Each structure stands twice: as C-alpha cells, then as structure tokens.
Amino acid sequence: MRLHEIQAPTYDCNREPIMDVNRIRELLPHRYPMQLVDKVIEIGANYIVGVKNVTSNEPFFQGHFPQEPVMPGVLQIEAMAQTGGLLVLNSVDEPERYSTYFMKIDGVKFRQKVVPGDTLIFRVELMAPIRRGISTMKGYVFVGEKLSAKQSLWRK
C-alpha cells in the first residue's frame, strides 16, 4: 500500500470493541503504565486496528515535556508493536499460552506530535505469512484522519 493510498480507519467511540482492555490484559503481559492499547476495534485475517486514548494523566508527560507535553515516539512504536502482538495472538489456539517479542523496526517516520487529548488509531498489517513463529508487519498511527507515524515491525 502506498502512503497516498492509506486511509485512516473509521473509529466510532460508542461502538462496542472487539477486544476491551480486560481481554487485552489476558493476552499481553504489559500493565500500567506500559499497556498502551486500550481496545481493538477491528481484526481481519492479516490486519488489526487498535486504539489508545492519550490523556493528560499519562506518566510520561511528567518529564516529556512538562510545559509542552508530547507522547514519546518510542512509546508510539511500542503501542504499534503491542497491537501487532494482539494480531499474532489472535491467530493461534490458546493465545494465553504464548508470548510475543518485538525484534526489529525499520523505516520509522513521525509526521506530527501526539499530545494529551489525542486518540491514536493503530493499523497493523501482516506483510507475509507467519513463518517459524516470526512475523513481518507494517504499522501506521493515525490521529483522526491524519497519518502520525509509520514503521515496519518484526515479531517473534
């Protein structure tokens, strides 16, 4: 998919999620303050759409930066990786028995600041079938209709 073809996923905050924060906690080992996916709103055979509501109470805003709070880019990457982990875990039987690990990123580009009050929408796509437990994915972060960041991910 070329950059100009990428459409922001549609998000209706009143619609029931496919995975809520409790289900995500059953699948991922991350806990506050490192659990960075609030819900999953869509899952297909080779893609997933997750959501993170960025609040002014996020602990990272205390130091990044107190006078002009901005969500660190590395945490946006981590949130995409967690979303990708949920995609992989959704494809196996008994996902609670598996762990996923973030192995590599390529070509990260940040296009705008993420600030308190933003709702991040993550779209993560498998780029190839999962082989020997390793997956290659591409991830996008949207704030509203605008692309905020993109990257390539490897997971095991």
Has 4 been annotated as catalytic?
A: no
Do the beta carbons of residue 47 and residue 123 sit within 8 Å?
yes
Out of 25, 30, 64, 156, the active site residue is 64
Instruction: Give the other-Cβ count within 10 Å of 117's Cβ.
Output: 11
What's the gap between Cα 99 and its chain centre? Answer: 16
CA atoms within 13 A on the CB side of 111: 13
Tokens 């999962």, residue located: 130
Do the beta carbons of residue 10 and residue 124 sit within 8 Å?
no
- Closest by CA position to 114, among listed 135, 143, 86, 89: 143
Do the beta carbons of residue 110 and residue 2 sit within 8 Å?
no
DSSP secondary structure code for residue 58 in this structure:
-
Do the beta carbons of residue 153 and residue 124 sit within 8 Å?
yes
Q: Which active-site residues does the annotation give?
A: 64
